[in-house]
Amino acid sequence: MTAKQLAKKIQSQFKEITSDPVEFRDELTIDIADAKQISVVCHFAKEHLDFDYLVDLCSIDNDDETPRWTVVYHIYSYKHFKHLRLKVHVSEEDSKLPTVTNVWRTANWHEREVFDMMGIDFIGHPDLRRILMWEGYPYHPLRKDFPLAGKSSDMPDVAFTDPVPLEGGPFVTSPGNKDSADREPRVRNPE
């Protein structure tokens, strides 16, 4: 069965909430209009179409657009050897999605990372807590409104409290039309 046939089966099962499959660079994407139904769609994809592996779950900050976030589920079928991408859009006012940890256990850490970095809650997650930043950290660092210079925090016993500027830091390349080798941080600071 082709990826397009599998995508069409999802679309026919969930006609009212799915878009037509969009193909780009030999990859298929289906938009799910009702974000609250993502768990049901994923369960159907696993149980009826053998998408038995959640490859990745990531989020996109659309900044000033509405809805603010896009959450992307990259799934794979070992039976059919096919990939499929499911997208849902989440508004800033209602930044909650049902968890898919009941479908794929691997969603556990993926959802925790999206929660930590973007602030999107996953309803029903068995252990939704920060995974990269420390507990109590008041910000979500991968949001586009988070400044490159960082933000100070009032937690002196946990971590540094002053912002750490990234501009010109040891791992940031310089902008410009120069050759990429000339923009490397080691070239600027030959120590």
189 is written with which tokens? 């600071």
Widest distance between CA atoms in the chain? 62
What does the pLDDT look like over 82-110, one tens digit per residue? 999 999 999 989 889 999 999 999 999 99
pLDDT of residue 174: 59
pLDDT of residue 120: 96
Amino acid (1-letter code) at residue 174: S
Q: Examine the pLDDT at 180 and tell me if it is beyond 90.
A: no
Q: Are 55 and 77 in contact (CB under 8 A)?
A: no
Q: Examine the pLDDT at 81 and tell me if it is beyond 80.
A: yes
pLDDT of residue 74: 98
Task: Say how far apart CA 19 and CA 98 lie, in whole Å.
Answer: 20
CATH number for the domain formed by residue range(s) 3-146: 3.30.460.80
What does the pLDDT look like over 111-159, one tens digit per residue? 999 999 999 999 999 999 999 888 888 889 899 888 776 777 666 565 5
Q: How many CB atoms lie within 10 A of CB 15?
A: 7
Q: Where are the domains of the chain?
A: 3-146, 147-191
What SS3 string covers the chain?
CCHHHHHHHHHHHCCCCECCCEEECCEEEEEECCHHHHHHHHHHHHHHHCCCEEEEEEEEECCCCCCCEEEEEEEEECCCCEEEEEEEEECCCCCEEECCCCCCCCHHHHHHHHHHHHCCEEECCCCCCCCCCCCCCCCCCCCCCCCCCCCCCCCCCCCCCCCCCCCCCCCCCCCCCCCHHHHCHHHHCCC
Q: Quick one: which of 175, 170, 181, 10 has its CA closest to 87?
A: 10
pLDDT over 70, % of the chain: 79
Q: Examine the pLDDT at 184 and tell me if it is beyond 90.
A: no
Q: Residue holding tokens 């030999």?
A: 26
